[in-house]
Structure 1
Amino acid sequence: MVQHIRQAFNQAFTEEKYLHFLQSLNSKHPGAIDFRVAETPVFIPATFTSKMLGACESIVDVIIDKSFKKLTEKAVPPHLNVPNETNFTRCIAFDFGICLNNNGEIEPQLIEMQGFPSLFAFQLLYDDVLRQHFDIPQNFSPFFNGFDANSYTQILKKIIIGNVAPENVILLELFPHQQKTRIDFYCTKDYIGIETVCLSELIVENGNIFYVFQGKKTPVYRIYNRIIFDELLQQSDTVQQKAAAIFLKPVSAEWVPHPNWFYRISKYTLPFLQHPNIPETCFLDKVHPLPENLSEYVVKPVFSFAGQGVMIDVTKENIASIPDPQNWIIQKKVNYAAIIETPDTPAKAEIRVFYFWDDSWGRPKAVMNLARLSKGKMIGTRYNKNQEWVGGSMAYFEQLT
């Protein structure tokens, strides 16, 4: 997107450099990166960043308003409502496509958002290793609001661990060593020193949670939750019974973030937002009649994750077959810009902006990001098989002095 930097990067790129970069990236935890890592980062001009963060801040205004919980009271499925909900989430992720508007201009457009963690720790490693192998201009940074690697690590630690001992904080996941994002779990331990624990390993006694740490039964006071209910509900009765004891009954541990925020800040929230960089979105059951130009819309289930169930080529017959349209949204399609020059066809890109919310802040702050490159219909490594210059990446933002 910054033409002279893109040209310089591509001209200096070699397959050998890329392979050495991958070797270094994988050397920390061999075999743990279970997704494709792109050959290039994305270089973002300051004007684009300003528009993107402006859209984020407009959403934050809605989230911090005292009416937000009332507005989203139906967002949390009743059978998945977790007790002791916190007043706010500790983190938010906003996904923006790099898009073309009707005037042919590049602009950000919000695709989705989630009140849930992302690859917060792995991106630290990614930035560090990438800079060892490729030249990144000094006036470009993956961070926002003056954060750097040190201050980001400190605020990540504060958000997750708080004032308790690290051994009393766990990263909770379902079969974590089988997850495609497991590299982030291992990096979380590297950077902030907490253990990753499978749900099945927890011990619950009278609302208190324990795990075995260094051979000792150890109390859990804070849970860095990485479990997605979509996946949990597909598990055996034994696993779901353990989950019910932890998620559906009051426990003494504090959730970071609380699971209900996964639903409150999600696709469910999109119909309540209005901004030039947020596509028009409505609940499907509220749209009468349906638009004639359905090819210009995408239909998404509210309660799904990682693009599952999304209808891109929408027909009236598709929509008529949906039994619960109140749990679906219809969103105006955006025109992703195939603008990232690569050795063959240009790639599209999406940027995920990380927001953290510390107790001492009046509102959450943008801190860091990840990016994903695609040459397929959808963004995400699972949708770009047998392609190059696609996959997980990072955006570097122009810093104006």
Structure 2
Amino acid sequence: MIPAQRQKYNQQFTTEKYNAFLTQLGEGYPEIPFRVAETPIFVPQGLKEKLIAAGEEIIKLIKQPDFKALTDKAIPADWKVPNENEQPHFLTFDFGICKNDAGELSPMLIEMQGFPSLYGFQHHLAKTFKSSFGIDDTVNHFLNGFTEEKYIALLKEVIIGKHQPEEVALMDVDAHNQKTAIDFFVTQKMLGIKILALEDIKKIGRQLFYEEGGRQIQLKRIYNRLIFDEVANDTRIFENSFDPREELDIEWVTHPNWFYRISKYTMPFLKSEFVPETRFLNEIETLPADLENYVLKPLFSFAGMGVIIDVSASDITSIKDPENWILQRKVNYEPAVQSPDGGVKAEIRMMYLWPDGGEPQLCINLARLSRGKMIGVRYNANFDWVGGTVGFMEI
């Protein structure tokens, strides 16, 4: 998208360089099970400014005094966790890169989450791209004036807080074997916190502990990477550990309720040039005549599961719980990233950190490239110049 950067990158790209880059990226870490794209995205100033403006509009809604009341129904009754705090610690907004009516590249909101993303891995990825491919200092993967030092300091403030690193753990069901485990290990290296599977944590009274070197260490704060949607059908996993829905003496980063509050559920409340028309299915009295221009999405799903792209009236009438679905106008991605054999579609995730008692701060980004019908890595398995990557923004 920055023509000079793209031309320079593509001219010096070779498969050998790419393979060496992948080797360097994975050195000292478990194998990366998802596809990392051959290229970063070079984001021009105009598009960067639109991405920032779009994020600020969303944050304005989240900071409204009535936001919790507005989103109370977003949290499934079975998965409400007590002792919710006043703010999420992470905000991630996914934007498809499109063209607006003026023919300019412009972001359109696809997804949003009050849940952590690859905050460790994305920095590691950008540093490796930069060193492997000689990317110059006129672009940066950080935003808002962040440097590596400032970024890691804020990550520590948000994730560790006032505690010691050994009192804080990154937690997931089977943490060491998750698809995103490399992010867990990069984060551990950055911050010195533990990586714990759910079954590594035991409850005594209201307190949580893990064992190391024959001693019990109390957990004070959990960097939560457990998504309830993924375990909803088998809650027996909590039997050998603890159930997050119990009253516990633990601080959450971020509290699980925010995963639901800031999600597809929030999108119908947003009215913006950067947000496609989105309505709760149960509130639609007359279906649009041009259903082919809409997509049907379940509110409670993960990584694109259950999304119906080519919607028919029968799809809608067959849904038994319309209150748990949204109908959203399709976003037409522009194949704006030039690969050696044509344009590739792109999505950029703007990633914020929100320290306790502070303000949300835009720090870093994640990007994905696609040639398939959907952007996610799982939908592009048989293509090249697709997969997870990072945006280098014009300074």
| TM score, norm. by length of structure 2 | 0.98
1:204–1:246 CA contact under 8 A, matched in 2: no
Measured after TM superposition, the shift of residue 242 of structure 1 is 4.9
The alpha-carbon distance between structure 1 residues 276 and 320, as it changes in their structure 2 partners (threshold 3 A), is: same
2:30–2:182 CA contact under 8 A, matched in 1: no
1:334 corresponds in structure 2 to 331
Q: Which runs of 5+ in 2 are unaligned?
A: none
Distance 2:219 2:46 in 1: 45
2:363 corresponds in structure 1 to 367
1:6–1:43 CA contact under 8 A, matched in 2: yes
| Aligned counterpart for 2:251 among listed residues 254, 269, 278 | 254
- After superposition, what is the alpha-carbon deviation per residue over 1:320-377, rounded to whole angstroms, capped at 9, x for unaligned? 111101100011111101121112232111011111111342x311110110101000
Measured after TM superposition, the shift of residue 54 of structure 1 is 0.7
Measured after TM superposition, the shift of residue 229 of structure 1 is 0.7
- After superposition, what is the alpha-carbon deviation per residue over 1:127-154, rounded to whole angstroms, capped at 9, x for unaligned? 1211111121211111111001111111
1:232–1:240 CA contact under 8 A, matched in 2: no
1:38–1:373 CA contact under 8 A, matched in 2: yes
Distance 2:164 2:373 in 1: 45
Distance 2:231 2:311 in 1: 29
The alpha-carbon distance between structure 1 residues 206 and 190, as it changes in their structure 2 partners (threshold 3 A), is: same
Distance 2:155 2:330 in 1: 34
Distance 1:121 1:160 in 2: 12
Task: Output the amino acid matched with 1:239.
Answer: I
Distance 2:342 2:178 in 1: 31
1:86 corresponds in structure 2 to 85
Alignment of 1:264-343 (within 5 A): 264-343=261-340
The alpha-carbon distance between structure 1 residues 250 and 29, as it changes in their structure 2 partners (threshold 3 A), is: same
2:130–2:136 CA contact under 8 A, matched in 1: no
Deviates more, 1:94-103 or 1:367-376: 94-103
1:109–1:278 CA contact under 8 A, matched in 2: yes
Task: Output the amino acid matched with 2:141.
Answer: P
Q: Which runs of 5+ in 1 are unaligned?
A: none
**Secondary structure of residue in 1 paired with 2:73:** coil
| Aligned counterpart for 1:390 among listed residues 383, 386, 393 | 386
Alignment of 1:74-153 (within 5 A): 74-153=73-152
Distance 1:135 1:296 in 2: 42
Measured after TM superposition, the shift of residue 206 of structure 1 is 1.1
Whether 2:204 is the aligned partner of 1:238: answer: no
2:48–2:393 CA contact under 8 A, matched in 1: yes
1:159 corresponds in structure 2 to 158
Distance 2:214 2:11 in 1: 53
2:351 corresponds in structure 1 to 354
Aligned residue pairs: how many? 395
2:18 corresponds in structure 1 to 18
| TM score, norm. by length of structure 1 | 0.96
Report % sequence identity: 47
Distance 1:125 1:359 in 2: 25
**Secondary structure of residue in 1 paired with 2:72:** coil
- After superposition, what is the alpha-carbon deviation per residue over 1:272-292, rounded to whole angstroms, capped at 9, x for unaligned? 001111111000111111001
Measured after TM superposition, the shift of residue 103 of structure 1 is 4.2
